[in-house]
Amino acid sequence: MTNLEKYISVLDENVDGLLLTSRYSRMYGAEFDIAEGIAIVTKNGCRYFTDSRYIESAQNNIKGFAVMEMSRDNPYGKLINDAISDFGVHTLGYEETYLTVSELMGFEKKLNAKLVPYNEKIYGFRAIKEDWELERMRKAQQITDQAFSEMLTKIKPGLSEKQLQAELVYSLLKNGADGMAFEPIVVSGPNSSMPHGVPGERIVQEGDFITMDFGATYQGYCADMTRTVAVGYATEEMKKVYDTVLQAQTAAIAASKPGVTGRQIDAVARGIITDAGYGAYFGHGYGHSLGMECHEAPNCNPGGEKAMEKGVVSSAEPGIYLPGKFGVRIEDVVIFTENGCENITKSPKNLIIIKV
């Protein structure tokens, strides 16, 4: 079943069309990424609208949709209403997670169909990745691993966090990334105690931990990894925290298999960190799904009631963060398989101490 056929399968007597406005859902249905546009999906036909900047690319690459150009004379509202009329649509399911209130009000005013929130069903297919999606994610992770390998030769005292961030972005792009899955995090010393700290002017010093959280995108799909390395040396406390995080991640990955809930997987990692006396310093969830977006569902966190299924892709990222001192996070990406999971992150996880 193609992705477009999956979308058509959720149409019923309550919703006889889908209005796809987000880049992610349009890409999922068309299996090709266009920066801007709107698509409509019905059992009687599917149309994809975009403007002159993207029309040639869309016409050459999108299958399953009639591709039409939006212009001043043919704005989105008119094109969608023409499709509503041609395909006999009465109700359109829309993506309430992505649509702004202003956009929704505009559609409700202009379109000749009832609009119904339908994000759960539109989004739901993305939890289980197809083989071709997994291959793109493996490639994105391969690029990310290569960038980390190169960063190990770049880190040294005297450079700022921003300078290291720039090196990281360059390495990702040089090795084939289409872009960044998110703004890379590079934080050092006491700044590493902030899980999502912002790289600044702080100069790396000997004895620092440096945490790098980053990921490439490749053909519309994301990678995500975090590594924490020491510069020059690591204290006994630093080593203890690092070892605890690594043990927590290793155990939780071993527990990751279909049928186990996200909450149960999180509890494995959280239990090890708590038993070591650091439970109060692990505030975020153990993992999140990813794909076209860096954060998708289902999640491996204390609220994750959903059982994992074969084809789910999740991060594995426990951490310990000691305010004002340092933090450690180790993050891999795993694919849930028939009886366990495949770790597609190949970078080493032993404590690396950069020689100075």
Side-chain-facing half-sphere of 92: CA atoms under 13 Å:
29
Q: pLDDT for 37-73, tens place per residue?
A: 999 999 999 999 999 999 999 999 999 999 999 999 9
Residues 245 and 312 in one domain: yes
* Residues 58 and 140 both lie in one domain: no
Structure letter (DSSP) for residue 17: E
| Secondary structure (3-state) at 280 | helix
Same domain, 121 and 180: no
Q: Which of 84, 99, 125 is the last residue of a domain?
A: 125
**Same domain flag for 118 and 186:** no
Length of the chain (residues): 356
Q: What is the pLDDT of residues 308-348, one digit of tens each?
A: 999 999 999 999 999 999 999 999 999 999 999 999 999 99
Regarding whether 137 and 118 lie in a shared domain, the answer is no
For residues 179 and 301, membership in a common domain is answered with: yes
Q: Give me the domain span that covers residue 261.
A: 131-354
Q: Check if the beta carbon of residue 223 is closer than 8 Å to that of residue 269.
A: no
Task: Please tell me which of 97-101, 123-127, 157-161 the model is most confident about, judged by mean pLDDT.
Answer: 157-161
107/207 same-domain check: no
Q: Which of 83, 109, 125 is the last residue of a domain?
A: 125
What CATH number does the domain containing 295 carry?
3.90.230.10
- Closest alpha carbon to 62 in 110, 20, 119, 11: 20
The CA R_g of the chain, rounded to the nearest whole Å, is 23
CATH number of the structural domain spanning residue 63 = 3.40.350.10
Same domain assignment for residues 154 and 121: no
- Number of domains within the chain: 2
334 and 200 assigned to the same domain: yes
Do 343 and 325 belong to one domain? Answer: yes
Q: Are residues 117 and 144 in the same domain?
A: no
Whether residue 61 sits in one domain with residue 136: no
Task: Work out the mean pLDDT of the chain and round it to a whole number.
Answer: 97
